[in-house]
Structure 1
Amino acid sequence: MSRLAEFRKLEQQLASQLAELEAMKGDAGLKKEIEFEAKLRSLLGEYGYSLKDVINLLDPQAGRRAPAAMSKAGTRKPRQVKVYKNPESGEVVETKGGNHKTLKEWKAKYGSETVESWLTK
């Protein structure tokens, strides 16, 4: 894309955003929210409180709760079941990890690459 075309595209985007901003300025709900925020900040300043102080005052347990994003970070997807079938004996092993007794024996006897080739699922 040429620099001129990029400039024109950005100019159009800016014009549409400015029109959107002008439309929002006339919104009564937005005006009420702005007025409320201004009064709240003025009141906080008058009494020397911060937003955190007010939250702790109204909901003392809020600081002890883990944020939603943090709790999801600790969870992980459950492991898939892998099915190995020994072509010599016909024996089948289903496992979610590599710490299976029979699977370890097979890997010691036949080698890891050979046993991994027996993976069916």
Structure 2
Amino acid sequence: MASVLSDYIKKEQMLKQLQEELQALESNSELKKELEFKEKLQALMTEHGKLVRDVCEMLDPSYRSSSVKGTKISSTDGRKKRPLKVYKNPHTGEVVETRGGNHNVIKEWKAEFGNEEVVSWVVEERA
């Protein structure tokens, strides 16, 4: 029980210290300016139907293409998008567009004709 009580007392002291720091920050004029700016910016974005991503792309066109993971907010998990591959089966004329190797039709073709042959059917590849 004593360890629980001492833990409680420590946390209570930490809370008191954090509350004091928070009060000091709240009286900081620089923080007040930044909070006011943030509120106005969010209101403007809402008024115009824009997301943070949209604003970042407007201000920095290289925003989406940033290759350094973690430096910019992104709608993905930071991985580069796979290229779109367009396959055309010369036997049937069927066309399949896919960004991954898990496409069921491509799997069927590879099982029937072999991987190397199906890979040679790529007629277009784009980002």
Q: Identify the TM-score tier after normalising by the shorter chain.
A: 0.5 to 0.7
Where does residue 65 of structure 1 map in the other structure? 66
Given the superposition, is the C-alpha separation of residues 69 and 57 from structure 1 closer, same or farther in structure 2, using an over 3 Å criterion? closer
Deviation at 1:60, TM superposition (A): 1.3
Equivalent residue runs for 1:64-83 within 5 Å: 64-68=65-69
Q: Give the Cα–Cα distance (whole angstroms) in 1 for the partners of residues 35 and 42 of structure 2.
A: 11
Say yes or no: does 1:18 pair with 2:54: no
Which amino acid letter does the alignment assign opposite residue 11 of structure 1?
Answer: E
Tell me the SS of whatever aligns to 1:60.
coil
Where does residue 29 of structure 1 map in the other structure? 30
Given the superposition, is the C-alpha separation of residues 38 and 10 from structure 1 closer, same or farther in structure 2, using an over 3 Å criterion? same
Where does residue 8 of structure 2 map in the other structure? 7
Post-superposition Cα deviations, 1:3-47, rounded to whole Å, max 9, x if no partner, equal 111111110000000000011110000000000000000000111
Post-superposition Cα deviations, 1:79-109, rounded to whole Å, max 9, x if no partner, equal xxxxxxxxxxxxxxxxxxxxxxxxxxxxxxx
Which amino acid letter does the alignment assign opposite residue 18 of structure 2?
Answer: Q
Deviation at 1:69, TM superposition (A): 5.4
Given the superposition, is the C-alpha separation of residues 5 and 18 from structure 1 closer, same or farther in structure 2, using an over 3 Å criterion? same
Structure ranking higher in helix proportion: 1
TM-score of the two chains, using structure 2 as the length reference: 0.51
Post-superposition Cα deviations, 1:40-87, rounded to whole Å, max 9, x if no partner, equal 0000011111111111112111211212559xxxxxxxxxxxxxxxxx
Query: Which of structures 1 and 2 has the bigger CA Rg?
Result: 1
Unaligned runs of 5+ in 2: 72-127
Structure ranking higher in strand proportion: 2
Tell me the SS of whatever aligns to 1:2.
helix
Say yes or no: does 1:53 pair with 2:54: yes
